[in-house]
Amino acid sequence: MLASPRLFYVLKFAGPALVLVWLIAYMISDQPAYDNVVRQFKNERDVFIADFLDYEVGGELDGSSISELCASKTWTPGLMLSCDPQSGGFGQVKDAHLNCIRFAIEAGAELVLPRIIKRDDKNIANTRPKNGGGPYIGEFIDYLFDFEYLNQTLSQHCPQLRLYRSMNELWDVPQVQSARKISLQDVGVKLNGSVIEDMNALPEQIKSYIDRTENPETRPFPIRFKSDIITSAFPTAYGNQELAKNFGRLLRPRKDARVLAGIALYNLHKKYHLNLDPKQGFQHSTFPGLHLRTEADAAPIFPPFDDQVASLLGFVTNTSTEFAFVATGETEEHRRAFAKKAEAVDVTLVFKQDLLLDEPEGRELLEQLTWDQRALVDYEIMLRAGLAVGLGESSFDWNIALRRRVVPGAEGEAHSPPTSSPIQYQDRYSILLGSSEKGNTLRATVWP
């Protein structure tokens, strides 16, 4: 039994403890109240970045069209597909990887995710550095993309598709260590340029090629087929329009790059009093984002430096804009040269380095990233520009423009000064300059 002074002692502490327990229970049962209390303890910057990560441009991925697609296919147990690793930048690798995922779905096969060839960071024009003559192995998909998110989203919306992060997961399956070759050409797909003409025929064409090559009665189980890199092949206009909007969302940039973009955008917002709220998406009036694509690997596809600079400046000259964000992997020397030309028309150019290198966290995170990983930071910032100006030959820019096209209010034309360059695409939030055949193909095949 408790002695009475002891009882008094217990009650003295139990009372406040009970109140505290009740308060916590109340806050947890009332989630918004709880969130508000937690938010007050976080500083403004952390809240901004958390919101930036939570509220994606175009809203949350809606997987129902992916579920429908997967449910409509015939799945063959023990049939595996892998694809050669892709090199190059975000847009190029994203295209190849999505094509590989889509090819596996059309084939009704299990998928070994493709890997990514890392470019030579000391000579960025060298996208496929020599590796002693052997086949390219490459980095895990995590090198550019958020694997957890992809795996989680596919498990939820396409449970039929069995996914392997890499061949490492299959080390103990001898049958699949070597692979038979498969390609769109092999299966007899009719292409218009690189684009598949008849999507309806594709699943049957793949199946009949596979069964012709390896008799289903006698072939090893499991069996792996390996495809070349597939580029700009699947027409997004085919099938469900929701699929065109959501399929590309499977590949989201890796988290550290998104965090950095959140920090950079917060710093931009403070520096220029932008009144940005990542929960509200973006507004046309916020800031212009310009893509300068003149780095060492850009020629001969993209116009020369002086031409790009002149047309980009056309968008900010004689507007009320006092600054513009510039997405680029250019050298410091070229960034300065561009900034100087912009100063002559009273516009300050802001690069990601300006927003990140002055603070310890931003500097440390940015310096850890490779050149292609840094481009993901630009990508995430450009998604939130009031007006994004890019190039029709760039899959990076098509990813941005087509992703933003679904944001309410995008219909119509960009309110911008006329430019002498031809315009390949425009809506209220994005303009892509150019008039190339490549641009038309990208328009038809990029899953944003």
Ligand X SMILES: *[C@@H]1O[C@H](CO)[C@@H](O)[C@H](O)[C@H]1NC(C)=O
Summarize as ranges the residues that interact with ligand X (CB under 6 A). 151, 155, 165, 192-193, 197, 317-318, 440-441
CB nearer ligand X, residue 65 or residue 441:
441
| CB of 314 vs ligand X, minimal distance in Å | 6
| CB of 121 vs ligand X, minimal distance in Å | 27
Handedness of CA 117, 121, 123, 124 (dihedral sign): positive
CB nearer ligand X, residue 124 or residue 230:
230
| Helix pair angle (395-404, 90-107), 10° resolution | 70
CB nearer ligand X, residue 49 or residue 112:
112
Q: Distance (Å, rounded) from C-alpha 212 to C-alpha 191?
A: 21
| CB of 342 vs ligand X, minimal distance in Å | 12
User: For residue 325, what are the β-bridge partners?
Assistant: 289, 350
Q: Which of 243, 278, 378, 286 is nearest to 59 (CA)?
A: 278
CB nearer ligand X, residue 165 or residue 255:
165
CB nearer ligand X, residue 197 or residue 367:
197
Q: Distance (Å, rounded) from C-alpha 140 to C-alpha 162?
A: 17
Q: Which of 321, 313, 319 is nearest to 344 (CA)?
A: 313
Q: How many CB atoms lie within 10 A of CB 279?
A: 11
Residues 149/200, Cβ–Cβ less than 8 Å: no
Residues 308/294, Cβ–Cβ less than 8 Å: yes
Residues 42/50, Cβ–Cβ less than 8 Å: yes
Residues 141/97, Cβ–Cβ less than 8 Å: yes
| CB of 329 vs ligand X, minimal distance in Å | 27
Looking up tokens 């899953």, which residue turns up?
A: 447
CB nearer ligand X, residue 81 or residue 195:
195
| CB of 192 vs ligand X, minimal distance in Å | 4
CB nearer ligand X, residue 177 or residue 318:
318
CB nearer ligand X, residue 169 or residue 367:
169
Q: Distance (Å, rounded) from C-alpha 76 to C-alpha 67?
A: 17
Residues 276/286, Cβ–Cβ less than 8 Å: yes
| CB of 167 vs ligand X, minimal distance in Å | 13
Residues 330/294, Cβ–Cβ less than 8 Å: yes
Count the alpha carbons within 13 Å of 79 in the hemisphere toward its beta carbon. 23
